[in-house]
């Protein structure tokens, strides 16, 4: 199973930059590359800020290679928040604090569930089956959650599948749709407008406001798309609606490889 890059990045780190964002925010910029090692530092700084409960800090938003911090200017200042961030930066190059895992998402490809699959295949001169094989043969690193609630920005798409966005976005993309846009792949957790090329759909809801935490996926872990038939899709969706389904996971060790046969028993499971 192919992995998205190396879990441990040896790239040298340039000096972190602190940039004002209006009168109540700042950006902490790390190396401006899409890299798992850089993203780990981003996530760790965001986690340390949350645990520190810095007075006046109202929101903390990590992304690929930066952290946005919103603060109350009546309580604190840009310089005070930046100084606290600099102190919290110490030791960011340590190991992952939580052992990474791979979420196994059952996905039906093509047809009404992936209306752009054949177009993506034609764009690359591939058979639709080859697109499915390539897309489902990688474990995608979850860099961050954004855009809409629970939307995972995933790294590791095979270069042969990189496809431009649609020129005209769809006014409504069904929840669970799996898409490709440029060199990224992702899943729409809720119905929304969108311009990604849709190649499949998962019956697993990735976001529910009545659940804690509401988002199924967490940054720093991985996603694997497991092809299923249309009949399996409907069976899993029925189990989800009955509250009898939970997303299966496989362990990933420190080198980014899963254990022998891990996660190959099926795309998910029911609660005991």
Structural domain count of the chain: 2
Residues 143 and 244 in one domain: yes
pLDDT at 268 over 80: no
**Could you say which of 33, 53, 88 is where a domain stops?**
88
Residues 138 and 263 in one domain: yes
Shared domain check, 49 and 71: yes
- Between the alpha carbon of residue 226 and those of residues 111, 157, 168, 248, the distances in Å are 17, 15, 29, 11
**Rounded CA gap, 157 and 228, in Å?**
20
Residue 50 shares a structural domain with residue 127 = no
Together in a domain, 129 and 263 = yes
Query: Same structural domain for residues 69 and 115?
Result: no
What does residue 45 show for φ and ψ, rounded to 5 degrees?
-65, -45
Residues 174 and 107 in one domain: yes
Query: Among 54, 88, 122, which residue terminates a domain?
Result: 88
Contact 43, 141 (CB under 8 A): no
Q: Does the pLDDT value for residue 202 go beyond 70?
A: yes
Percent of the chain with pLDDT over 70: 86
Mean pLDDT of the chain: 88
Above 70 in pLDDT, residue 65?
A: yes
Instruction: Give all strands (DSSP E) within 88-127, no chain letters.
Output: 101-109
Would you say residue 167 has pLDDT above 90? yes
In a domain, 94, yes or no: no
Beta carbons within 8 Å of 169's beta carbon, 6+ residues apart? 193, 194, 195
In a domain, 96, yes or no: no
Same structural domain for residues 32 and 148? no
* Residue 84, domain member (yes or no): yes
- The CATH number that applies at residue 201 is 2.40.100.10
Report if residue 9 sits inside a domain: yes
Token pair of 124 as six digits: 């690359």
Lowest mean pLDDT among 79-83, 114-118, 259-263: 259-263
Let me know whether 106 and 83 are in one domain: no
Assess whether 109 and 242 both reside in one domain: yes
3-class secondary structure, 139: strand
Owner of token pair 């604190």: 76
From the list 194, 195, 190, the residue with the least C-alpha distance to 163 is: 195
Q: Which residue has the higher pLDDT, 254 or 98?
A: 98
Could you list the residue range(s) of the whole structural domain that residue 126 is in? 101-270
Residue 145 pLDDT greater than 70, yes or no: yes
Q: With a cut of 50, say whether residue 272 has pLDDT above it.
A: no
The answer to whether residue 40 sits within a structural domain is: yes
Do the domain assignments include residue 93? no
Grouping H, G, I as helix, E, B as strand and the rest as coil, residue 106 is: strand
- Does residue 51 register a pLDDT over 70? yes
| Alpha-carbon distances, residue 124 vs 56, 127, 138, 139 (angstroms) | 51, 9, 18, 21
Whole-number Cα distances in Å, 50 to 47, 60, 76, 78 = 5, 7, 16, 17
Residue where a domain stops, chosen among 88, 111, 134: 88
Assigned domain for 223 exists:
yes
Please tell me whether residues 136 and 28 are part of one structural domain. no
CATH code, domain with 47: 3.30.1360.40
Q: What is the per-residue pLDDT for 209? A: 84
Per-residue model confidence as pLDDT tens digits over 207-235: 988 888 888 999 999 999 999 999 999 99
Is 76 in the same domain as 114? Answer: no
Banded model confidence at residue 11, pLDDT cuts 50, 70, 90: low
Higher pLDDT, 209 or 193: 193
| pLDDT band, very low/low/confident/very high, at 12 (cuts 50, 70, 90) | low
Q: Per DSSP, which regions of 167-211 are E strands?
A: 170-173, 177-181, 184-187, 192-194, 197-201
pLDDT in tens, 75-115: 999 999 999 999 998 878 766 667 889 999 999 999 999 99
95 occurs within a structural domain: no
């Amino acid at each position: 199973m192919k992995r998205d890059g190396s879990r441990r990045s040896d790239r040298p780190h340039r000096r972190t930059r602190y940039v004002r964002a209006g009168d109540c925010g700042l950006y902490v910029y790390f190396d401006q590359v899409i890299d798992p090692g850089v993203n780990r530092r981003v996530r760790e700084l965001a986690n340390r800020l949350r645990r520190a409960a810095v007075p006046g800090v109202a929101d903390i938003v990590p992304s690929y290679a930066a952290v946005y911090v919103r603060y109350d200017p009546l309580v604190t200042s840009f310089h005070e928040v930046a100084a606290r961030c600099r102190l919290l930066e110490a030791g960011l190059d340590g190991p992952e604090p939580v052992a990474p895992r791979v979420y196994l998402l059952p996905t039906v490809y093509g047809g009404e569930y992936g209306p752009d699959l054949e177009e993506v295949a034609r764009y690359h001169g591939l058979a639709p089956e080859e697109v499915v094989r390539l897309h489902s043969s990688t474990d995608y690193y979850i860099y961050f959650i954004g855009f809409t609630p629970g939307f995972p920005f995933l790294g590791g798409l095979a270069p042969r599948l990189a496809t431009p966005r649609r020129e005209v976005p769809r006014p409504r993309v069904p929840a669970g749709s799996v898409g490709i846009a440029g060199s990224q792949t992702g899943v729409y957790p809720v119905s929304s407008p969108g311009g990604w090329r849709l190649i499949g759909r998962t019956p697993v809801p990735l976001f529910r406001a009545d659940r804690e935490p509401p988002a199924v996926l967490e940054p720093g872990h991985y996603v694997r798309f497991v092809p299923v038939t249309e009949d399996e899709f409907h069976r899993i969706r029925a189990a989800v609606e009955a509250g009898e389904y939970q997303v299966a996971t496989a362990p990933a060790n420190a080198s980014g490889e899963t254990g022998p046969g891990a996660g190959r028993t099926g795309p998910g499971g029911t609660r005991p």
